[in-house]
Structure 1
Amino acid sequence: MLEINRIQKRKVSEEIVGEIKRLISKGVFLTDQKLPSETELAHQFGVSRSSIREALSMLASAEIIETRQGEGTYVRKVQIGDYIHPLVLSMVTEKEQALHLLEMRQIFEIGTVEIAAARRNENDLAELKQTILELEMQLKLGESGMEADFHFHRAIAEATKNPLLIQTMENLTHVMKQSLEYTHSHNVGNTERRWRVLKEHQEIFACIEKGDSHGAVAALKEHLENVRNKLKALDH
């Protein structure tokens, strides 16, 4: 019999999720191993099949397990970046939510730009320079510049050469773009703000180009702090 703890608490499906994750971490359920059927799991856990089905759905949404048509349910090879999943994060449509995401960006991007400045190569510099040219062009056309802004920050992550950092940035694409769209939408009509964003990107790039990790961190901190101040000044 499998080493499974019987479920006691009210939120049954969440308890099942926690127990299955524990079993995976202990190696009871191995990567690429087929899980027991819903009926077998229900019997082992001492719960209903509907609770098992709900728990498996939650695990599948988190990309911890996967269903293979005609074969059954298997444990996925989980990457660290998979734990930051767009569906788990709030929709960034309000100022408070945008500020929360900005705090997360500060923690993630400040460390990322420090590594990028130390590891960047000529291809990375060319990509970063291209994103700045794209931003300048978009601003001249009267556009928000959101897409070029996102491409710039993604290119910084790619310059780290760290696959987990790159994957994390990819997983954050949806909410990052929402956050940038929210802030850029409030820059439309304000020429000074829009061109200031370009200047800040140019300053970050200059430090990365020189391999100045300390300067890159300082420039990015200033950039994100300016974003924070703009957000706090908004009425809604």
Structure 2
Amino acid sequence: MIEPIERKKISEQVLIQLKQMIKDKTFPVNSKLPSENELAKMFGVSRVPIREALRVLEAGGLIQSKQGGGTIVKEVILASKLEPVTFEMVDIEQVYELLEMRSIIETEAASLAASRRNKDELQSIYTALKQFENTVENVSIIGYEADYHFHHQIVKASDNRFLMGVMENLSDLYHGTLVYSLTKNVGMRRKREQVYQEHFLIYEAIKNQDPEEAAHYMKQHITNVRLKLDDSRLDHK
């Protein structure tokens, strides 16, 4: 099916190209960007859309205006700021590291949840599972809130305040990686159904109070995310 051609604002088109030029290091970290006039000439547009695009980049933490004039490209660190405009610019190795950490924490959390969960906690995990199931029907949305809620309820059921503290303290990072990975499933019902099925198997293992199965399915679930993102760290295992 052919989709309608989008008519993007000039400033949005400039923004897309500037982000790509920063990402591919045409404008490397700590380098000075060309002036507004120079950028306007480069893109063949007026200064107005250039200024709008630069404002978005600065709000997202990709660039910084210096006193005395000039704008420099900032280094994007995953653990600092996660607005949508910045997350896609981080070094993919940082995403891999975060997913590796999630695998360690959540595999054990799932095992503990299977051993320790009570009826109310199991019901909360089930409710979160059904919320994610609803996103399968609407493939146009990302569904990261429902995904995060499911994982959050499992860690909560582990009955370990430190595991819970780590997840809550890093909630922005969790959301960031979920948005990053689930965006690749938007419009792809089969992929979304696969993620739901993985969640379902984790839930069933916790419901059946089987710690080994719960850990296995959680590790498998996060490994599949890492495979989807071509995590090079998996090659060493």
Q: Distance in 2 between matches of 1:154 and 1:145?
A: 14
1:146 to 140, 144, 154: 144
Q: Where does residue 185 of structure 1 map in the other structure?
A: 183
Structure 1 unaligned regions, length at least 5: 1-86
1:128-147 aligned at under 5 Å gives the runs 128-142=125-139, 143-147=141-145
Q: Distance in 2 between matches of 1:122 and 1:109?
A: 20
Aligned to 2:79: 89
Alpha carbon RMSD of aligned pairs, Å? 1.7
Give distance in 1, aligned partners of 2:160 and 2:145. 23
Whether the 8 Å contact between 2:181 and 2:225 is mirrored in structure 1 is yes
Counterparts of 1:178 and 1:101 in 2: how far apart (Å)? 10
CA distance in structure 2 between the aligned counterparts of 1:88 and 1:185, rounded to whole angstroms = 18
| Alpha carbons 2:78, 2:173 under 8 Å: kept | no
Which deviations, in whole Å up to 9, do the C-alpha atoms of 1:43-75 show, x marking residues without a partner? xxxxxxxxxxxxxxxxxxxxxxxxxxxxxxxxx
Instruction: Provide the TM-score with structure 1 as the length reference.
Output: 0.59
* Of 151, 157, 181, the match for 2:155: 157
Asked if 1:102 is matched to 2:99, the reply is yes
Shift of 1:147: 0.6
Unaligned runs of at least 5 residues, structure 2: 1-76, 232-237
Q: Any residues of structure 2 matched to 1:55-66 within 5 Å, and which?
A: none
Distance (whole Å) between structure 1 residues aligned to residue 144 and residue 203 of structure 2 = 17
Q: How many residues align?
A: 147
Q: Distance in 1 between matches of 2:142 and 2:157?
A: 25
> Is this contact kept in 1: 2:110–2:155, CA < 8 A?
yes
Code of the residue aligned with 2:185 in structure 1: it is: N
Runs of 4+ in structure 1 deviating by more than 2 angstroms, as ranges, are 90-97
Change (3 A) 1:88 1:206: same
* Structure number with larger C-alpha Rg: 1
